[in-house]
A and B are shown apart, each in its own frame.
Chain A
Amino acid sequence: MSTPAVVDPLVSPVTPAAIRAFLGSVPSVDEVAVHARVGSLATRSIKKASKRSAIDLAIRMTDLTTLEGMDTPGKVKQLATKAVTPDPSDPSIPSVAAVCVYPARVRDAVEVVAGTGVRVAAVATYFPSGQAPLDVKLADTRAAVEAGADEIDMVIDRGAFHTGDHLKVYEEIVATKEACGPAHLKVILETGELGTYDNVRRASMLAMAAGADFIKTSTGKVVPAATREVTLVMLEAIRDFNALTGSVIGMKPAGGIRTTKDAIKYLVLLNETLGTTWMTPELFRFGASSLLNDLLMQARWLAEGRYQGPDYFTKD
């Protein structure tokens, strides 16, 4: 087998025709096969020590998220404290990967997590709709980075994507990437609004070609949010992009992942599609809020042998 050629998938200059040709080369998705594959990978039984290690990995991969209009500095600080020490009564529980907040709350989170290794992610570019002029989106991004965000979660303009203006989507990602500076860029496709798996695959390729460090399913504000099926489609796009260019891009399913069982099924999907290289918080994240408590409850059930109740864990 020959090693894949490292090429720029889009020839410069990027024109509507070049993008059309690039997206035209993206194969379509076999929906039935995706469901069958996801179904067959959901039957794995992960128990005892393997389960505990999966729980620890899932905790280390969690972007603990609060994205509410009613977020206060106090709530964000409390969440950031929990991100650093998810279970104060159990020092064996690791910290989560990052706290994910609105740009206006970044400083509150940074104050708490500074020096702990927990990162701060901010949603930007007029999250969750993305329906604002580009200069406003870029200003939003720069403000978040200046406030200390290590990672930026941007949204693509789904309206432009649906009208076929893929160049606009592409250029906005390129511009946002530039505005990010040293911060990592996660590109939210909002798969619940893209309609088909074919669109998800094309949008994934477009985002990666434009410079995304991560691709992310959803804002969490639209139903359906992350599903394992859509995640598989995106993971396969990451694999294809890796074969095409050699780039290693991360994946973040977000929204609707609430239980340890779910999280472990995602990890199985990841391992079987991209392999162990991707089994790290550097390349895979869960965007979640209530998932963390279920992971903690499962860890304590494994340790104590008695079923847990939510009353004994901090409320997010």
Chain B
Amino acid sequence: MSRLDVRKTYKLYIGGAFPRSESGRVLPATDADGEVLARVAHGSRKDLRDAVVAARGAQSGWAGRTAYNRGQVLYRIAEMVEDRRGTFVEQLGADGRDEADAEAEVDASIDRIVWYAGWADKFAQVLGNLNPVAGPYFNISAPEASGVVGVVAPGEPPLLGLVSTLLPVLVPGNTAVVVASERWPLTAVTFTEALATADVPGGVVNLLTGQPAELLPFLASHMDVNGLDISGADPGLVTAAQQAAAGNVKRVLADPPDHWATAESPYRIAQFTETKTVWHPKGK
């Protein structure tokens, strides 16, 4: 007798929980041949609204952790993804990729998480400065998190693109509201399941599956979102998003790299920081 299939329900990730979309809608996720593999939650603007509330609630706590501890937590994500390596390879393979290619993407993603985790207690030394001033003062500039950052993950590559856009946002203490790849959302949902078992506090990462064209206008115009990485968005959506983001002068990064495979840089971390400069008497 054959067993019944036990299929996974692909849900949203908001505030550390896995809700369905409040709208009750779902979208089919298809493989390379157009075969329906699963149905994912079709996130709505109200899910987005809830995700921003969760991200805002988690932000001060995440930024308030020591840089070293944030690095440890981010490294733990790499451990959890490594633990699910087989699942990720199989899932990426279902998209018509050969196994070696899928394995290469998973390996590169894990390595990239580790790479950014290492920056958590180092970026301030590189991006900060002791400024020369004409007086008996220390004048120190230090980067601090911008706040809540919206991310539209690139359609391809599904895992490496997500990791490459999300991790630099988290490093300085921002929290994120991510719109997953529309083309291939399954891997992003599996990634949130890894996040939930890493030590990432609830609300630090919130991920919506659905249609970026539907969600991005509300994310870009949201007055309680401080930054927006739309490097992965469809180029047709970028201009309108930039205009909407001007309402509260969000920091916008719309800079798709030539290859996501090499797109790791401390300047992606710098993009979503604010520089605080303090003067301190030097004494004699």
Contact = CB atoms under 8 A, between A and B. Distances in A.
Q: Specify the main secondary structure of chain A where it touches its partner.
A: loop
Interface string A274-316: 0000000000000000000000000000000111111110000
Interface string B36-72: 0000000000000100100000000000000000000
Name which of A306, A307, A310, A312 has the most chain B CB atoms within 10 A of its CB: A307
B51 to A, nearest CB: 11
A306 B49 contact: no
Contacts of A307: 49, 52, 218, 221-224
B224 A311 contact: yes
Contacts of A309: 222-225, 248
Interface in B232-283: 244, 247-248
Contacts of A311: 223-224, 248
Nearest to A310: B224
A89 to B, nearest CB: 13
A183 B277 CA distance: 54
B37 to A, nearest CB: 33
B244 A306 contact: yes
A279 B224 CA distance: 33
Contacts, number: 27
A47 to B, nearest CB: 12
A309 B147 CA distance: 12
A306 B218 contact: yes
Name which of A305, A306, A310, A312 has the most chain B CB atoms within 10 A of its CB: A306
A307 B52 CA distance: 10
Contacts of B244: 306
Contacts of B224: 307-311
Contact of A312 (B52, B223, B225): B223
A310 B244 CA distance: 18
A305 B248 CA distance: 14
B245 to A, nearest CB: 11
A281 B223 CA distance: 31
Contacts of A312: 223, 248
Nearest to B244: A306
Nearest to A307: B222
A264 B225 CA distance: 26
A141 B222 CA distance: 47
B263 to A, nearest CB: 30
B22 to A, nearest CB: 12
A307 B215 CA distance: 12
Contacts of B222: 306-307, 309
B253 to A, nearest CB: 20
Contacts of A306: 218, 221-223, 244, 247
Contacts of B218: 306-307
A310 to B, nearest CB: 7
Name which of B49, B223, B248 has the most chain A CB atoms within 10 A of its CB: B223
Name which of B49, B218, B222, B224 has the most chain A CB atoms within 10 A of its CB: B224
Nearest to A306: B221
A156 B225 CA distance: 46
Nearest to B218: A307
B53 to A, nearest CB: 10
A305 B222 CA distance: 9
Nearest to A300: B223
B243 to A, nearest CB: 12
A64 B56 CA distance: 26
A11 to B, nearest CB: 55
A164 to B, nearest CB: 45
A87 to B, nearest CB: 14
Interface in B173-227: 218, 221-225
Interface in B74-133: none
A309 B56 CA distance: 10
A307 B49 CA distance: 8
A250 B231 CA distance: 56
A281 B225 CA distance: 35
Interface of B: 49, 52, 218, 221-225, 244, 247-248
The 10 closest A-B pairs by CB, nearest first: A309-B224, A306-B221, A309-B223, A307-B222, A308-B223, A307-B49, A312-B223, A307-B223, A306-B223, A306-B247
Interface of A: 305-312
Given A307-B222, A307-B224, 14 more contacts: A305-B221, A306-B221, A306-B244, A306-B247, A307-B49, A307-B218, A307-B223, A308-B223, A309-B223, A309-B248, A311-B223, A311-B248, A312-B223, A312-B248
15 contacts: A305-B221, A306-B221, A306-B244, A306-B247, A307-B49, A307-B52, A307-B218, A307-B221, A307-B223, A308-B223, A308-B224, A309-B223, A311-B224, A311-B248, A312-B248
